[in-house]
């Protein structure tokens, strides 16, 4: 799989870090030293079924796409006679989501995350404050942060679009990170209980967070079904409500489509850092204000 990443994914796909993550970590970590000829269609289906059962159907679909490319490449290179992915369909139908959390829901989730605390609750609060992707937060490393300057740099190997991403941190985010314990003799990972691997009990922790947040909602409100990725959409929508320009929001989220797609991506190199600093501060102030109002 490492050869596939180097020879095929990296030269062709800006999102190769996500492909690498899907093929080499988590669900397929135990397959890394296996002869790919020994991997059966049944084993693949078992992995996908487990992902769906634990509430990750979209990730299972992404894994199908990544494995289809990998095994197809292996057939082309003569490493396999036939792909075990042939005619295998994604396990779940996908519907485009437009879920945006209400202010009351966001406030309840923030408070519940604070009660749960480190590591998952702290990670969720950082997702809320920065709008960054789940994996980018949960797999964050201390070397990426300059808390003195209030900056977080997600390196290209961890960024979904393959380019390093600089994130200004509002004072609330810096304070949150300063309160996070550093685990292990040589702390590397931020959100970890072992010091060696990122926090992995996401499904159970998410269920606990949702239950606790639901209890914090007032009688006239209820917490509708939601996902962690909805925090990112809520960040974008909330920033728009605060009159933060779209191109600044897209820079905060590290989007390469939209305002920065196509030819603009080639010629527009301004990073709008000052504007992003202001945007992150405004959003953090809004989050803290919600706690006082809800």
> What is the structure's pLDDT at 256?
64
Q: Do 43 and 173 lie in a common domain?
A: no
pLDDT at 259: 46
Quick check: helix, strand or coil at residue 167? strand
What integer pLDDT is reported at residue 269 of this predicted model?
Answer: 43
The sign of the dihedral angle between the CA atoms of 208, 209, 212, 214 is negative
Output the domain CATH number for residue 284: 1.10.443.10
pLDDT tens digits in sequence order for the chain, 294 residues long = 888 888 888 887 666 778 888 898 878 988 988 999 999 999 999 999 988 888 788 888 889 999 999 999 999 999 999 999 988 888 887 665 688 999 999 999 999 999 999 999 999 999 999 999 998 999 999 999 999 999 999 998 888 766 789 999 999 999 999 999 999 889 999 999 999 888 988 989 999 999 999 998 876 678 888 999 999 999 999 999 999 999 999 999 987 654 444 433 433 445 789 999 999 999 999 999 998 876
Chain-centre distance of CA 239, in angstroms? Answer: 19
Q: Is residue 89 part of a domain?
A: no
Distance CA 193, CA 189 (A): 9
Structural domain of 123: 103-293
Domain count, the chain: 2
Is residue 83, in this structure, part of any structural domain at all?
A: no
Strand 145-146 and strand 151-154: the pairing is: antiparallel
Asked whether residue 178 falls in the same domain as residue 32, the answer is no
pLDDT of residue 266: 38
Say what the alpha-carbon torsion angle 190, 193, 199, 200 is, to the nearest 10 degrees: 170
Helices (H), the chain: 2-4, 10-12, 16-24, 41-53, 57-76, 103-116, 120-130, 134-138, 171-178, 202-216, 230-241, 246-253, 263-267, 273-293
Q: Are residues 239 and 202 in the same domain?
A: yes
Same domain, 149 and 263: yes
User: Got the DSSP string for 18-60?
Assistant: HHHHHHHSGGGGGGTTS-GGG--HHHHHHHHHHHHHTT-HHHH
């Amino acid at each position: 799989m490492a050869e596939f990443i180097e020879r095929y994914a990296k030269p062709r796909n800006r999102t190769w870090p996500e492909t690498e993550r899907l093929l080499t970590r988590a669900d397929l970590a135990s397959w890394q030293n296996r002869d790919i000829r020994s991997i059966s269609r049944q084993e693949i289906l078992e992995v996908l079924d487990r992902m769906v059962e634990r509430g990750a159907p979209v990730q299972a679909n992404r894994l199908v796409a990544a494995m289809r490319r990998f095994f197809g490449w292996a057939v082309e290179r003569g490493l396999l006679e036939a792909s075990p992915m042939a005619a295998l369909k994604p396990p779940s139908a996908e519907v485009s989501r437009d879920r945006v959390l209400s202010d009351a829901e966001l406030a309840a989730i923030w408070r519940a995350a604070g009660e749960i605390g480190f590591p998952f609750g702290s990670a969720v609060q950082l997702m809320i404050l920065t709008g960054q992707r789940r994996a980018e937060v949960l797999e964050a490393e201390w070397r990426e942060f300059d808390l003195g300057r209030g900056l977080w740099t997600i390196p290209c190997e961890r960024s979904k679009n393959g380019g390093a991403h600089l994130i200004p941190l509002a004072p609330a985010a810096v304070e949150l990170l300063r309160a996070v314990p550093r685990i292990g003799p040589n702390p590397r990972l931020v959100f970890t209980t072992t010091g060696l691997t990122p926090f992995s009990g996401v499904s159970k922790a998410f269920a606990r967070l949702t239950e606790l947040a639901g209890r914090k909602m007032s009688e006239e409100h209820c917490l509708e079904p939601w996902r962690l990725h909805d925090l990112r959409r809520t960040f974008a929508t909330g920033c728009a409500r605060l009159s933060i320009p779209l191109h600044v929001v897209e820079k905060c989220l590290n989007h390469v489509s939209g305002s920065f797609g196509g030819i603009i991506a080639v010629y527009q190199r301004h990073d709008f850092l000052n504007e992003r600093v202001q945007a992150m501060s405004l959003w953090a102030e809004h989050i803290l204000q919600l706690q006082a109002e809800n």
